[in-house]
């Protein structure tokens, strides 16, 4: 017997959703686009798009136009489904929600002028982005890497940008030329002071374009708020699609799964015309740095440690790594004893209960979060999540040993993948493969080969004897650090 497939999710089939599925309560036809979002992948669709979906219930001005920079196959599904999709909240309480805040999805390749037209729409107030750490093209020094081929291409051809830096700069240039007020660019990626980094990158790009007036105009008129974003969002799977079909009665080819926890902290400088994000639970604060540090170091730092050490110990998911008592115990001690002293107090954030909550989130039995997903882009994530804390600990004369678990396990992981011929998901994959293939098993020379990667290790750290010796010891036997 062939199983009957459920109807495809769309505006027309929405009324067929099973009881209990949460649907948009507003008339989508009456909404207008107020946000252009670059990089509308799973994280954005499970996170910011949900906040705007809630906001649209009281204010129709904040629908989103998704601008896809990297083709990811979502555009086709988005169009077929009238931009509707399901967010499966997999947690103690299961919840299926159809999100309606996207009303347009444009591809940077082929629909360039349509995206610029949106950026020039005076109703568009924000240009938000989730392009991951590598989407900013920052060098090891944190500054825009003007020698990167994608940035070079955007400098040569500013009217057809490939990078978000090119898009934001040219979008602002066009607003300036039209004597309009600027939109507010909002970085929603896992970087410390992401707004400042974006600001500096856009200024460097404008300068490299040789446009002094634009540089001055951006300096005087454009705000770049920093933000902290949080919700654990494992990549969607075919199993998720099947489950959604069974539980909602509708077939969705582009669903999102995430935990129930959702947090967005935004530097309070969006301006008067901005959406009232506070009304839907966004924390608007004067200084977002303390929240960013806490989240990037405690959550993401622990994630990366679980990922590399877990993979090397044969675990596949965060849940499995947490069930590995030795590993989870060491990670918890790293969080409580080593990470917390590197943090600044954040109003309303009690680190001890924050950590307890994080450990419970990692143990969420309803969600399978693959370690290999977290293990991607290690060359960019580890400096933010682990090397920053190492530098702070060294400066304060505190121990750094447990921070070495993730670094040593990462090196072992890079070596293992290289020897197995598996190409890493990392912007410097080719370099890492070469280092991986060169490893001999001698801790001193192997570690030296990694420390020579200036994209990852700042010169000061690479030359620090205490760091080098701790890392070499850990590389020889990182498992010993779990005891």
Torsion of CA 227, 228, 231, 235, to 10 degrees: 70
Contact 149, 236 (CB under 8 A): no
User: Is residue 103 helix, strand or coil?
Assistant: strand
Looking at the Cβ atoms of 31 and 132, the one nearer to ligand CS2 is 132
Give Cβ neighbours of residue 196 (< 8 Å, ≥ 6 apart). Answer: 224, 226
Structure tokens at 116: 């610029």
Give Cβ neighbours of residue 42 (< 8 Å, ≥ 6 apart). Answer: 233, 235, 236, 256
Torsion of CA 106, 217, 264, 364, to 10 degrees: 60
- Assess 17 for contact with ligand CS2 (CB under 6 A): no
Q: Which range, of 299-307, 386-394, 404-412, 446-454, touches ligand CS2 by CB under 6 A? A: 299-307
φ, ψ at 286 (rounded to 5°): -75, -40
Q: Which range, of 81-89, 160-168, 295-303, 396-404, touches ligand CS2 by CB under 6 A? A: 295-303
- First-to-last C-alpha distance (Å) of the chain: 55
Q: Which range, of 64-72, 227-235, 246-254, 413-421, touches ligand CS2 by CB under 6 A? A: 227-235
Looking at the Cβ atoms of 299 and 394, the one nearer to ligand CS2 is 299
For the bound state, the minimum distance from the C-beta of residue 383 to ligand CS2, rounded and expressed in Å, comes to 13
Q: Which range, of 51-59, 60-68, 236-244, 373-381, touches ligand CS2 by CB under 6 A? A: 373-381
CA-wise closest residue to 235 among 75, 367, 429: 367
Looking at the Cβ atoms of 10 and 373, the one nearer to ligand CS2 is 373
- Assess 309 for contact with ligand CS2 (CB under 6 A): no
Place of tokens 């999805």: 105
- Assess 303 for contact with ligand CS2 (CB under 6 A): yes
Looking at the Cβ atoms of 232 and 439, the one nearer to ligand CS2 is 232
For the bound state, the minimum distance from the C-beta of residue 431 to ligand CS2, rounded and expressed in Å, comes to 20
Looking at the Cβ atoms of 28 and 369, the one nearer to ligand CS2 is 369
- Assess 368 for contact with ligand CS2 (CB under 6 A): no
Question: Looking at residue 135, what DSSP letter applies?
Answer: G
Structure tokens at 418: 């290289």
Among 230, 245, 252, 426, binds ligand CS2 (CB under 6 A): 230
Contact 55, 276 (CB under 8 A): yes
Q: Which range, of 34-42, 179-187, 224-232, 349-357, touches ligand CS2 by CB under 6 A? A: 224-232
Q: Round to whole Å and give the CA distance between 35 and 254.
A: 21
Burial call 424-441: b when 16+ CB within 10 Å, e when fewer: bebbbbebbbebbeebee
Q: Which range, of 208-216, 226-234, 388-396, 454-462, touches ligand CS2 by CB under 6 A? A: 226-234
Binding-site size for ligand CS2 (CB under 6 A) equals 10
For the bound state, the minimum distance from the C-beta of residue 230 to ligand CS2, rounded and expressed in Å, comes to 4
- Assess 374 for contact with ligand CS2 (CB under 6 A): yes
CA-wise closest residue to 131 among 168, 94, 87: 168
Looking at the Cβ atoms of 63 and 88, the one nearer to ligand CS2 is 88
Distance from chain centroid for Cα 456: 18
Stated as kind and residue range, the H or E segment containing 59 is none
Which neighbouring-strand residues pair with 99? 85
Looking at the Cβ atoms of 235 and 340, the one nearer to ligand CS2 is 235
Q: Round to whole Å and give the CA distance between 339 and 389.
A: 7
Q: Round to whole Å and give the CA distance between 48 and 86.
A: 14
- Assess 232 for contact with ligand CS2 (CB under 6 A): yes
Q: Which range, of 30-38, 117-125, 180-188, 229-237, touches ligand CS2 by CB under 6 A? A: 229-237
Q: Which residue is nearest to ligand CS2 (CB)?
A: 303
User: Is residue 177 helix, strand or coil?
Assistant: helix
Looking at the Cβ atoms of 283 and 449, the one nearer to ligand CS2 is 283
For the bound state, the minimum distance from the C-beta of residue 47 to ligand CS2, rounded and expressed in Å, comes to 8
| For helices 164-177 and 194-208, angle between their N-to-C axes, nearest 10 degrees | 70
Looking at the Cβ atoms of 44 and 107, the one nearer to ligand CS2 is 44
Among 54, 231, 257, 342, binds ligand CS2 (CB under 6 A): 231
Contact letters for ligand CS2, residues 380-399 (x by CB under 6 A): -x------------------
- Assess 373 for contact with ligand CS2 (CB under 6 A): yes
Distance from chain centroid for Cα 258: 14
For the bound state, the minimum distance from the C-beta of residue 338 to ligand CS2, rounded and expressed in Å, comes to 18
Among 103, 190, 248, 317, binds ligand CS2 (CB under 6 A): 190
Binding site for ligand CS2 (CB under 6 A): 190, 230-232, 299-300, 303, 373-374, 381
């Amino acid at each position: 017997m062939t199983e009957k497939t459920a109807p495809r999710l769309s505006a027309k089939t929405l009324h067929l959703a099973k009881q209990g599925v949460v649907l948009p309560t507003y008339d989508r036809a009456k909404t207008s686009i107020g946000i252009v979002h670059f990089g509308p992948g799973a994280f954005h669709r499970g996170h910011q798009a949900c906040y705007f979906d809630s906001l649209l219930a009281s204010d129709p001005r904040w629908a989103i136009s998704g601008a896809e920079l990297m083709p990811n196959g979502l555009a086709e599904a988005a169009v077929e489904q009238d931009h509707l999709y399901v967010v499966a909240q997999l947690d103690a309480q299961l919840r299926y929600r159809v999100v309606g805040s996207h009303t347009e999805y444009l591809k940077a390749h082929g629909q360039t002028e349509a995206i610029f037209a949106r950026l020039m729409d005076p109703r568009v107030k924000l240009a938000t982005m989730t392009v991951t750490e590598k989407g900013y093209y920052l060098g090891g020094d944190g500054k825009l890497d003007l020698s990167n081929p994608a940035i070079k291409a955007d400098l040569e051809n500013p009217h057809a940008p490939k990078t978000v830096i090119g898009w934001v700069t040219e979008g602002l240039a066009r607003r300036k030329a039209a004597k309009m007020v600027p939109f507010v660019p909002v970085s929603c990626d896992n970087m410390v002071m992401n707004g400042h980094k974006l600001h500096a990158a856009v200024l460097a790009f404008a300068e490299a374009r040789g446009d002094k007036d634009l540089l001055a105009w951006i300096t005087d008129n454009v705000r770049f708020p920093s933000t902290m974003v949080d919700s654990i969002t494992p990549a969607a799977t075919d199993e998720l699609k099947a489950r959604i079909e069974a539980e909602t009665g509708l077939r969705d080819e582009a669903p999102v799964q995430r935990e129930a926890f959702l947090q967005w902290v935004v530097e309070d400088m969006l301006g008067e015309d901005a959406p009232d994000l506070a009304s839907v639970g966004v924390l608007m604060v004067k200084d977002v740095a303390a929240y960013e540090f806490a989240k990037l170091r405690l959550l993401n730092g622990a994630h990366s440690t679980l990922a590399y050490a877990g993979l090397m110990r044969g675990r596949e998911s965060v849940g499995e790594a947490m069930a590995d008592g030795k590993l989870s115990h060491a990670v918890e001690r790293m969080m409580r004893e080593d990470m917390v002293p590197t943090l600044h107090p954040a109003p309303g954030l009690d680190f001890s209960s924050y950590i307890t909550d994080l450990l419970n989130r990692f143990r969420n039995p309803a969600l399978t979060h693959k370690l290999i997903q977290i293990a991607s882009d290690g060359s960019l994530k580890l400096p933010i999540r682990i090397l920053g804390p190492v530098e702070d600990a060294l400066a304060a004369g505190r121990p750094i040993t447990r921070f070495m678990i993730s670094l040593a396990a990462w090196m072992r992981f890079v070596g293992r993948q290289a020897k197995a011929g598996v190409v890493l998901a990392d912007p410097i994959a080719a370099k890492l493969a070469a280092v991986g293939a060169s490893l001999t098993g001698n801790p001193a020379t192997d570690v030296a080969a990694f420390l020579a990667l200036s994209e990852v290790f700042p010169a000061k750290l690479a030359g620090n004897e205490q760091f080098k010796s701790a890392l070499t010891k850990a590389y020889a036997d990182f498992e010993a650090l779990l005891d």
